[in-house]
Amino acid sequence: MFKQMKLQNRIAVVTGGSSGIGRGIALEFAREGAKVVVADIAEEPKRGKYHEQDTVSTTLSEIEKSGGEGVFLQADLSEESAVNTLIDAAVTRFGGLDILVNNAGIHVPGNSQEISVADWDRVTGLNLRGVFLAIKASVPHVRKSDFGRIINIASIHAFGGGGGPAYAPAKAGVTNLTRDIAIEVAPDSVTVNSICPGYIETAIQDYLTDEDIENCRRTTPLPRFGTPWDIARAAVFLASDDAAWITGSAITVDGGWTAVL
């Protein structure tokens, strides 16, 4: 039976698309028919010591291998000029913009006494300020779309402490920025939602110890960790017509982690 593609010919920008969750989202969007701009600081995927050890091929090569259409654009998502250039290039390349996925992010471990002010600024500069910059540059274009969608990747750490004094507040800010922008663009039928992942098997987990990972395993009720595919399918849903009346929401995809709380 012919499978109807949920995102046929829609134009999407996925930040942090070379690795991890962003890579998973970009690949699933392409499989669902979207034209995907993979935006990242580097095209080569990250490889981790716990997860994604064998990831070698670029996201774009995988998109093209599956018959999809895309382009890689290098961009530092913490820099306003770079973000503006990225969005302008995406619109020029494909003729518009329907979907923005704000996924680019970093984590620097350490408590308030260990993390430097410079690293605090670096984390919040990308994880929160960078999301705002991409939204600011994209809103004029997604407003023109018949399928305008903005999806922000936050975290379950948005709802509590434990993620560090920079990462957790930045992700909490992303969930509230999501609500604010959702109200702003609702008259144009653009939806804005955030996804809050739990433990996902990506290279970003390299800062953890084996004991930390085992604690996360015990905290997750479902009997496995999440994968980029799990987040990607939630993103496909939010980007599709099926979610046309969902906006301003923070959707947890965490294997039940927050249910325990």
pTM score, whole prediction? 0.96
pLDDT by residue (tens digit) across 92-122?
999 999 999 999 999 999 999 999 999 999 9
Q: What is the pLDDT of residue 50?
A: 87
Q: Do residues 104 and 130 lie in contact, with contact meaning Cβ atoms separated by under 8 Å?
A: yes
145 contacts 90 by C-beta, under 8 angstroms: no
Query: In this predicted model, what pLDDT tens digit does every residue of 198-219 receive, in sequence order?
Result: 999 998 888 889 999 999 999 9
SS3 127: helix
Q: Kindly state the DSSP code that residue 156 receives in the 8-state scheme.
A: G
**DSSP strand pairing (250-253 vs 69-74):** unpaired
The 3-state DSSP class for residue 35 equals: strand
Instruction: Check if the beta carbon of residue 26 is closer than 8 Å to that of residue 99.
Output: no
Q: What is the mean pLDDT of residues 77-97?
A: 98
The rounded Cα 123 to chain-centroid distance in angstroms is: 15
Enter the DSSP assignment of 200. B
For residues 85 and 75, the answer to whether their CB atoms sit within 8 Å is: yes
User: Can you tell me the distance from the alpha carbon of 219 to that of 261, in angstroms, rounded to the nearest whole number?
Assistant: 10
Is position 167 annotated as part of the catalytic site? yes
Q: Do 126 and 105 meet the contact criterion of CB atoms below 8 Å apart?
A: yes
The confidence score (pLDDT) of residue 1 equals 45
pLDDT in tens, 9-64: 999 999 999 999 999 999 999 999 999 999 999 999 888 888 888 898 999 999 99
State the alpha helices, DSSP H only, in 45-166: 59-65, 80-94, 117-124, 130-142
Domains and CATH numbers, the chain: 11-260 (3.40.50.720)
Q: How far from each other are the two terminal CA atoms of the chain, in whole angstroms?
A: 42
The helix/strand/coil state of 126 is helix
The string of pLDDT tens digits covering residues 121-174 is 999 999 999 999 999 999 999 999 999 999 999 999 999 988 899 999 999 999
Q: Catalytic one among 50, 167, 199, 207? A: 167
- Among all chains, which residue has been given the structure tokens 């250039």? 85
Element (H, E) at 212: helix 210-219
